[in-house]
Amino acid sequence: MNKEKIIVIDRSFADGLNLLSYPGRNDDIIKLALDIVREDIENVLIIGCGPYELWTTGGQAKIRSKKTVIVGVDISKEIAKINQIIKERGIIPIKDIIPLVSDPLFGLGSSKNIIMHRNIKSLLERLNIKGVYVENDLFIVDQKNRENVYIEQPMDVLEYIKKKPSYLYSLIFSGNIENNLIFQNGYTFDRSVNFHKMLVEILKPGGIYAFTTNEIFFHNSESNNSKNILQVLEKSGLEILYKATQLAFINKSTSKSIIVENCGLITARRGDFNSFLNATAATDTIRKIFMERYPEIESIEEEGSYDKFKDSLKKQTNLILIKINGNNYYWFNIKGEYKDVFMKLARLNFFPELFTVITDLKDL
């Protein structure tokens, strides 16, 4: 791949509007988040839910056999309408969803212009998602995955969260909503902090808030800026238990290649978890992956305080962050700015399954 022809940009935050979703895109981080929650999972909230995650979450092993209520809220009337059709009929043509997820071939693994590590069918199989199918240009969801899903009326997420009672949800997941909020007019640093404080308030003790964002925000160090996600989390009372970044795919457009990376974070109320479960085993497993599959990558492994980790980001790009205990973290970094780093990783065909490998660990 010619270096001069690579652009590092994730279109999911390019204008703050694109949804760019497909079955299996976020289900690995949802699986990991569900596995971390030790108690019975009664209520799950998916904000900015889009047309897929409500149903694939219902097909997760830890939920499918339970009576877990899955609530979806999205500001889009079109998304709500699509989800209501799926709820009632269990089937919808993919062509009806395409206008809501931008690129009609995104994630389908069938376009010559898109290089993906998996297609949808293999993604769902690998994650053991039951009751969801993509067949003959149709998106199909069985009754079991639909029966406990509740679709809220279209509503602004920030307004919706204000109205919820405390200690309600075992898991809150947001996909692209974090990125989209950043691009909204009037979404200030204080408003971002208050939004996350409200999420803390409605999480059950030991609950998890999982979300996806991009390295451009994870590495933003401008003080009191809503794009500085690390500072927002600190100010709101959320702490990171586990973070991983991986390339999603390479989209070839004309003579250039657009590299799309996906940064997923598992967070919890500060003090709820002393450490990420199986933290030492996780670091050993990730190290082994790098050594065996990607020997060309010279990762920088360090351990220390959260402040020491943040300082490391000035000259390095983070791939993995794991809370070991207390204020002690372990991380895998690569030298260089994140744009340069992901160019290098793209040329190595880098896509470690950094969420599902953790869920495969014993005793989690």
Q: Rg of the Cα trace of the chain?
A: 19
Among 185, 189, 180, smallest CA distance to 211 is for 180
Return the pLDDT at 251.
Answer: 61
| 272-285 pLDDT per residue, tens | 999 998 899 999 99
Return the pLDDT at 116.
Answer: 43
Residue 345 — pLDDT band, cuts 50, 70, 90? confident
Return the pLDDT at 16.
Answer: 43
| 76-108 pLDDT per residue, tens | 899 999 999 999 999 999 888 877 775 434 444
Return the pLDDT at 76.
Answer: 87
Tell me the C-alpha distance between 252 and 327, whole Å: 42
Dihedral, 172, 327, 305, 361 alpha carbons, nearest 10: -60
Mean pLDDT (whole number) for 174-178: 83
Return the pLDDT at 211.
Answer: 95
| 10-66 pLDDT per residue, tens | 544 444 444 567 788 889 999 999 999 978 899 999 998 889 999 999 999 999 988
Kindly list the distances between the CA atom of residue 309 and the CA atoms of 186, 299, 312, 315, 320, in Å, as whole numbers in the listed order: 30, 14, 5, 11, 11
* Residue scoring higher pLDDT (170 or 348): 170
Tell me the C-alpha distance between 342 and 340, whole Å: 6
Return the pLDDT at 249.
Answer: 63
Mean pLDDT (whole number) for 221-248: 93
Return the pLDDT at 202.
Answer: 95
SS3 state at 214: coil
Third-level CATH fold of 3-359: Rossmann fold (3.40.50)
| Domain boundaries defined on the chain | 3-359
Among 288, 296, 283, smallest CA distance to 350 is for 296
Residue 257 — pLDDT band, cuts 50, 70, 90? low
Return the pLDDT at 111.
Answer: 40
* Percent share of the chain, pLDDT over 70: 85
Phi, psi of 349 (to 5 degrees): 55, 45
Phi, psi of 223 (to 5 degrees): -65, 140
Q: Is the alpha carbon torsion for 343, 213, 54, 94 positive or negative?
A: negative
Return the pLDDT at 143.
Answer: 96
Among 360, 140, 176, smallest CA distance to 263 is for 176
Return the pLDDT at 19.
Answer: 52
Tokens describing residue 178: 């974090």
Question: Where does residue 21 fall: left (phi above 0), alpha (psi -120 to 50 degrees), or beta otherwise?
Answer: beta
Among 278, 362, 290, smallest CA distance to 333 is for 290
DSSP E strands, the chain: 6-8, 43-47, 69-73, 91-93, 114-116, 132-135, 138-141, 149-151, 169-174, 203-213, 238-253, 256-269, 300-305, 316-325, 328-335
pTM higher than 0.75, yes or no? yes
Residue 335 — pLDDT band, cuts 50, 70, 90? very high
Among 112, 212, 128, smallest CA distance to 172 is for 212
Beta pairing, strands 169-174 & 203-213: parallel
Residue 236 corresponds to which amino acid? S
Among 74, 8, 66, smallest CA distance to 37 is for 66
Residue 351 — pLDDT band, cuts 50, 70, 90? confident
**Worst-scoring range by mean pLDDT, 258-262, 301-305, 353-357?**
258-262
Residues 358, 338 contacting (CB under 8 angstroms): no
Return the pLDDT at 39.
Answer: 81
Return the half-sphere exposure (C-beta side, CA atoms, 13 A cut-off) of residue 225.
11
* Residue scoring higher pLDDT (347 or 240): 240
